[in-house]
């Protein structure tokens, strides 16, 4: 693995917490993600099922975790099933985890080969009353047309054991994963630190007539060199009018003298993610209008981030953020104050220039699991990302930091990333 091995005390603690929330006499089954193929015999990079990783630390395909806290046999209360290495796999792909290494990583003493899963489960299922099964409830928009290993496990279990009760593992992990442990916070901070250095590298490389993907390459260089697994998501390097498309990521345009670049990017380190956005002028000097828009967005970030503290309801926070941006849009001459007073509250005028939310949980997922009806609590990590997008002027500006909620407020985990106009210009012109 590229990252330093995580202490298995994290995963032991997570499993203990998960099992304490299970209904009596039930079995939890969590599966790894599939290896996705693209063309011929090539495959996409493997990404682990985050709930499985959260409970085991295993970062390998063809893995199943079974938890049965009330099993009569003590050795059946935690079982990890992994892929067995054979000579063919050794030659073509390299060795997979040994049972001993899987135990070291996860803290699970009983490790079996995955081909024995059905037989082992059959003895346990006879004793149990129900199953907890995993499912990607968090991203239905993305997975609606896909069948995953989790889908196949659900179908198989219900066919094999139709009279058992069934429960949602994601309901438990959704509750637990919102509050990060000290170990998780350090991993997010590591991802953020890599992002900081990547951004500085981009600022030094940027110049008129460079391609957006050349700046993306600077991100990738530092990411790989630093031992990160991958980008947290496909980075957005959007110059000029491209910055007004929120999820633009073709990154193939020419960065023109006089334009501003919006760069939204993140790092995945040990499966934990950062998510940051910065804007900077192609030529190293903000124009008067760029500076006005940037200053407004930065003001919203600074004031809005102060609202991220324990007890705050996310929906109420978003309303306050909208008011902050709305006031800046009036200052910028984009909205008329009198028209704002008379606007239809269900169709606010600011939506023309600011059309997205400004805070989301971050952790094992970039948009991490969590209910937005739940008040903020210490240990949560969220982004703050206000923006203003003026399509008619070819200016799009968004600024984003990652914040750890504490008992007394929050800590900016990305504070080291330059954000003041003077600091950005100084780095670009040094």
User: For 226-253, what is each residue's pLDDT tens digit?
Assistant: 999 999 999 999 999 999 999 999 999 9
Residues 169 and 206 in one domain: no
- pLDDT, residue 141, reads 54
Range of the domain at 400: 182-429
For the cut 60, the answer to whether the pLDDT of residue 140 exceeds it is no
**Residues 76 and 90 occupy one common structural domain:** yes
344-353 long-range contacts, CB within 8 A, separation 24+: 348/322, 350/322, 350/325, 350/326, 353/325, 353/329, 353/388, 353/389, 353/390
Confidence band, pLDDT 50/70/90 cuts, at residue 278: very high
Residue 368: pLDDT band with limits 50, 70, 90:
very high
Distances (CA, A) of 26 to 61, 116, 348: 25, 20, 49
Q: What pLDDT is stored for residue 226 in this prediction?
A: 95
Name the band, by pLDDT with cuts 50, 70 and 90, for residue 185. very high
Measured distance CA(309)–CA(411) in Å, rounded: 10
In a domain, 4, yes or no: no
Residues 6+ apart with CB under 8 A from 142: 136
50/85 same-domain check: yes
Amino acid 139: pLDDT: 59
Of the candidates 125, 142, 176, which is a domain's last residue? 176
pLDDT band at residue 137 using 50, 70 and 90 as cut-offs: confident
Lookup result for tokens 């980075």: 235
**DSSP symbol at 186:** H
Task: Tell me: pLDDT of 111 over 70.
Answer: yes
pLDDT above 90 for 225 = yes
Where are the strands (E) in 241-380, listed by range? 254-255, 260-265, 267-269, 272-273, 276-281
Q: What pLDDT does 40 receive? A: 72
Report the Cα 385 to chain-centroid distance in Å.
14
Q: Is residue 372 very low, low, confident or very high in pLDDT (cuts 50, 70, 90)?
A: confident
Query: Which single residue is written with the structure tokens 């957006």?
Result: 212
Residues 144 and 192 in one domain: no
27 shares its domain with 66: yes
Q: How sure is the predictor about 35, in pLDDT bands with cuts at 50, 70 and 90?
A: confident
Q: Which of 333, 334, 309, 335 is nearest to 320 (CA)?
A: 309
* CATH number of the domain enclosing 268: 3.90.230.10
The whole-number average pLDDT for the span 367-383 is 95
- Are both 223 and 130 inside the same structural domain? no
Q: Residues 149, 193: one domain? A: no
Instruction: Examine residue 1 and state whether it is found in any structural domain, yes or no.
Output: no
Q: Determine the Cα–Cα distance for residues 201 and 315; give it in Å rounded to an integer.
A: 36
Q: How far apart are CA 144 and CA 208, in angstroms?
A: 42
- Least-confidence region, from 37-46, 54-63, 112-121, 273-282: 37-46
Looking at the structure of the chain, the number of domains it has is 2
- Do 408 and 355 belong to one domain? yes
Task: Give the end of a domain, one of 115, 150, 176.
Answer: 176
Domain stop point among 176, 198, 221: 176
| Rg (alpha carbons) of the chain, rounded to whole number | 24
| 192 and 165 both lie in a single domain | no
DSSP state of 211: E
**How many Å apart are CA 151 and CA 143, to the nearest integer?**
11
CATH number at residue 149: 3.40.350.10
- State percent of the chain over pLDDT 70: 98
What is the pLDDT, as a whole number, of residue 144?
65
- pLDDT band of 427, cuts 50, 70, 90: very high
How confident is the model at residue 78, as a pLDDT? Answer: 98
* Per-chain mean pLDDT for the chain: 95
89 shares a domain with 49: yes
Tell me what pLDDT residue 6 has.
96
Say yes or no: 241 and 101 in one domain.
no
Report yes or no: 425 and 286 within 8 Å, Cβ to Cβ. Answer: yes
Q: How confident is the model at residue 149 (pLDDT cuts 50, 70, 90)?
A: confident
**How far, in Å, CA of 266 to CA of 277, rounded?**
9
Residue listed under structure tokens 């503290």: 309
Per DSSP, the chain holds a count of helices (H) and strands (E) of 14, 19
């Amino acid at each position: 693995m590229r990252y330093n091995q995580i202490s298995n005390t994290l995963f032991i603690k997570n499993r203990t917490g998960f099992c304490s929330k299970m209904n009596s006499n039930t079995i939890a089954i969590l599966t790894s993600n599939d290896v996705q193929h693209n063309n011929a015999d090539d495959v996409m990079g493997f990404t682990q099922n985050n709930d499985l990783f959260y409970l085991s630390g295993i970062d390998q395909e063809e893995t199943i975790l079974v938890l049965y806290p009330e099993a009569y046999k003590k050795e059946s209360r935690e079982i990890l099933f992994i892929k067995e290495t054979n000579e063919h796999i050794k030659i073509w792909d390299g060795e997979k985890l040994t049972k001993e290494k899987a135990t070291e990583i996860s803290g699970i003493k009983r490790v079996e080969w995955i081909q024995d899963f059905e037989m082992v489960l059959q003895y346990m299922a006879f004793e149990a009353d129900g199953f907890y099964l995993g499912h990607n409830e968090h991203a239905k928009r993305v997975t609606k047309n896909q069948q995953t290993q989790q889908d196949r496990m659900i179908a198989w279990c219900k066919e094999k054991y139709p009279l058992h009760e069934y429960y949602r593992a994601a309901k438990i992990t959704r509750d637990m994963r919102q509050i990060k442990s000290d170990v998780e916070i350090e991993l997010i901070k590591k991802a953020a630190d890599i992002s900081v250095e990547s951004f500085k590298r981009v600022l030094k490389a940027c110049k008129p007539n460079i391609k957006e993907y050349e700046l993306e390459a600077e991100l990738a260089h530092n990411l790989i060199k630093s031992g990160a697994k991958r980008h947290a998501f496909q980075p957005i390097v959007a110059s000029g009018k491209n910055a007004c498309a929120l999820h633009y990521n073709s990154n193939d345009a020419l960065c023109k003298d006089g334009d501003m670049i919006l760069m939204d990017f993140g790092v995945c380190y040990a499966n934990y993610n950062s998510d940051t956005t910065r804007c900077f002028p192609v030529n190293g000097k903000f124009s008067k209008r760029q500076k006005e828009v940037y200053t407004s967005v930065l003001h919203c970030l600074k004031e809005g981030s102060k609202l991220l503290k324990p007890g705050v309801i996310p929906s109420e926070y978003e309303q306050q953020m909208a008011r902050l941006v709305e006031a800046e849009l009036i200052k910028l001459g984009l909205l008329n104050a009198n028209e704002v007073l008379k606007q239809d509250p269900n169709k606010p005028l600011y939506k023309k220039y600011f059309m997205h939310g400004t805070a989301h949980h971050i952790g094992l997922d970039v948009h991490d699991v969590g209910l937005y009806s739940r008040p903020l609590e210490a240990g949560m990590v969220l982004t703050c990302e206000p923006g203003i997008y003026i399509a008619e002027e070819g200016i799009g500006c968004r600024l984003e930091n990652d914040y750890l909620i504490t008992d007394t407020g929050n800590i900016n985990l990305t504070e080291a990333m330059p954000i003041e106009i003077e600091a950005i210009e100084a780095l670009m012109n040094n």
